[in-house]
Amino acid sequence: MTEHTTTLELAERPTGPDERDSFTVVGNATAVLHCGGITVLTDPVFVHRHEEVDIGYGMHARRLLDPALEFDDLPPVDLVVLSHLHGDHFDQVARDRLSRDLPILTTAEAAATLREWGFRAVHGMETWDVVRVVRGEEQLEVTAVPARHGPPGANLVLPDVMGSVLEWSSAGRRHGLYVTGDTLVIDELAEVQERWPELDVGLWHLGGTRVLGVLVTMDADQGVELMRHVRPQRVVPVHHEDFDVFTSSLEDFLEAAEEAGLRDRVAVVPRGGRFRVAPETAGAGEDTVEAGAATMPTEELPGGGHEQTQPLAPDGTPTPIDDEGALLPPTEEQLPPGGPLR
């Protein structure tokens, strides 16, 4: 397959130093990634609890939890990376509210539909295509990597999906972040490890989604199996609790990772929390990154009057709350060995 590289130039804008090299988990597969000075929004979904999204063929999924961040509270976003076009990854809020001129990197199939909806800056990507995003001295490379939304032949009824690897340099270090997209473990994923043997972090789309009894996203066992084939320094599980189509919980994944001896590579990031890809404590030349559990929110998350749910501590258990419902820091027992990761 021929690999294509496209360059996308962004206009200059200021970025704060605290934004760099981190990401915030919004809910489901939505995250705000700060890749150096370039901000990426993944799989944008902002419907609220009890609202439904279209997942094709007249089927719908109902949201169980509010997003940790409202659409109006997003920071300035430079581009969207969209794994595929299902309503639990690109919902009616995204369709109505995103700028028609905001660059969107996605599959060729999804790009065609987005153009029909009026989005003008869509880049359709085939597997191993690269989009090089440039702003002044800042560069971000996004590579489309293999993914398959179900067993062989699933492409006949399910949309094309792409995983993505995002690479950038900051403070003299090269960073790599892998987003699986909605995929099962397939042979082609071995090449991700071959091409990027030193990834910092991976966002694992889990949940064990089943359609008519057929598994179409990784469950706990598949998530652990992928950890054996693609080995970022930390794995952050996402896409496992927001919608009523999920059958495999975060707790299932943590238990399976523990049994496999891989729990130390998993970092649980609470909804609304931030994970630092390159913490200040990491020294130059180190071959590992101290991947961080998220900073706990210190005030009520914006919910527009909708009930907020209790986020999880780094060990996967609910964080404590006080008598007034305010979030408290994790207890000592809930923190990983050695204290909080930063």
What is the pTM for the complete model shown? 0.82
Domain assignment present for residue 342? The answer is: no
Least confident of 57-71, 214-228, 303-317: 303-317
Within-domain flag for 171: yes
- Expressed as residue numbers, the domain containing 217 is 5-334
Query: So what's the pLDDT on residue 153?
Result: 76
Which one has a higher pLDDT value, 231 or 329?
231
Residue among 46, 124, 119 nearest 88 (CA): 46
User: What average pLDDT score do residues 146-151 get?
Assistant: 93
What are the pLDDT digits (tens) for 89-118? 999 999 999 999 999 999 999 999 999 999
Q: What's the number of domains the chain is made of?
A: 1
Residue 320 included in any domain: yes
Direct distance between the N- and C-terminal alpha carbons of the chain, in angstroms, rounded to an integer = 41
pLDDT, one tens digit per residue, over 255-305 is: 999 999 999 999 999 999 999 996 543 333 332 323 333 333 323 333 333
Output 243-246 pairs: Cβ under 8 A, ≥24 positions apart. 243/28, 243/53, 243/61, 243/62, 243/63, 243/64, 243/88, 243/207, 244/61, 244/62, 244/64, 245/55, 245/61, 245/88, 245/207, 245/209, 245/210, 245/211, 246/207, 246/208, 246/209
Give residue-wise pLDDT tens across range 179-203: 999 999 999 999 999 999 999 999 9
pLDDT value for 57: 75
- Tokens at 319, concatenated: 């964080």
41 found inside a domain: yes
- Of the pLDDT bands very low, low, confident and very high (cuts 50, 70, 90), residue 308 is very low
Q: Is residue 339 part of a domain?
A: no
pLDDT on residue 299: 33
Closest CA to 122 of 145, 98, 155, 140: 98
What span, in angstroms and rounded, lies between the C-alpha atoms of 3 and 9? 20
3-state helix, strand, coil in the chain (%, to 5): 15, 30, 55
Q: How confident is the model at residue 141 (pLDDT cuts 50, 70, 90)?
A: very high
Q: How many CB atoms lie within 10 A of CB 193?
A: 17
Distance (Å, whole) CA 246 – CA 248: 6
- Pick the closest to residue 318 from 340, 333, 307 (CA basis): 333
pLDDT at 25: 97
CATH code of the domain containing 21: 3.60.15.10
Q: Is 171 or 6 the better-scoring residue by pLDDT? A: 6
Query: Token match 């939505």: residue?
Result: 30
| Residue 341 within any structural domain of the chain | no
Assigned domain for 75 exists: yes
Whether 340 is covered by a domain: the verdict is no
| Tens digit of each residue's pLDDT (9 = 90 or more) over 51-100 | 999 988 778 999 999 999 999 999 999 999 999 999 999 999 999 999 99
